[in-house]
Amino acid sequence: MDQAQVFLAAGLVCTLAFAGIVLLDSDSEYPDWEVLEVCLADHSGDINHIHATLSLSINGENVPIPEDVGIRDSVCPNGMRGVHTHDATGRLHIETPGEMNVTVGAFFAIWGEKFDDSHILGQVANENKEVVMFVNGTQNFEYENYVMENNAVIEIQYRDRE
């Protein structure tokens, strides 16, 4: 093998390794939710600020939403993420540097929990159990892709199938 072939083979190996890293990147488990990159220093400035309320129930037991989700975390050590909590009431603060579609799934990603039509807080839907979501009292089938609106009341249940 001459020197040109060695360089060509090395380039091919590096390209394949890079492609493998990109495809296996752990952040790829979440859709490209723009809000995951938002980090604000404080509540001041020209920001879009709305709220939603989230409640969770696992087998009929209410599960509190932790306080300070998205506050001074590894992505935003000196501020707050674009969707966060301040207390354990379930009130989600959605603060962005302009109009942005913020999904409930993005909040769960920031929290470090999986949520979709078959997963919630480590629970998995099966032939006996289901994950259901209601928004303002009406069943919603968008799950993690639901774009939160101001004053939305979001209820997520893991329960026996009806």
**Residue 15: per-residue pLDDT:** 42
Domain ranges in the chain? 1-29, 31-160
Q: Output phi, psi for 77, to 5 deg.
A: -70, -20
**Residue 2: per-residue pLDDT:** 64
Quote the CA–CA distance of 16 and 20 in Å, as a whole number: 6
Distance (Å) of CA 105 to CA 13, 89, 147: 36, 18, 9
In order along its 162 residues, the chain shows pLDDT tens digits of 665 554 444 444 434 444 444 444 444 466 889 999 999 987 667 789 999 999 999 999 999 999 999 999 999 999 999 999 999 999 999 999 988 999 999 999 999 999 999 999 999 999 999 999 999 999 999 999 999 999 999 999 999 998
Class of domain 31-160: mainly beta
**Residue 17: per-residue pLDDT:** 43
**Which residues touch 126 (CB under 8 Å, ≥6 apart)?**
none
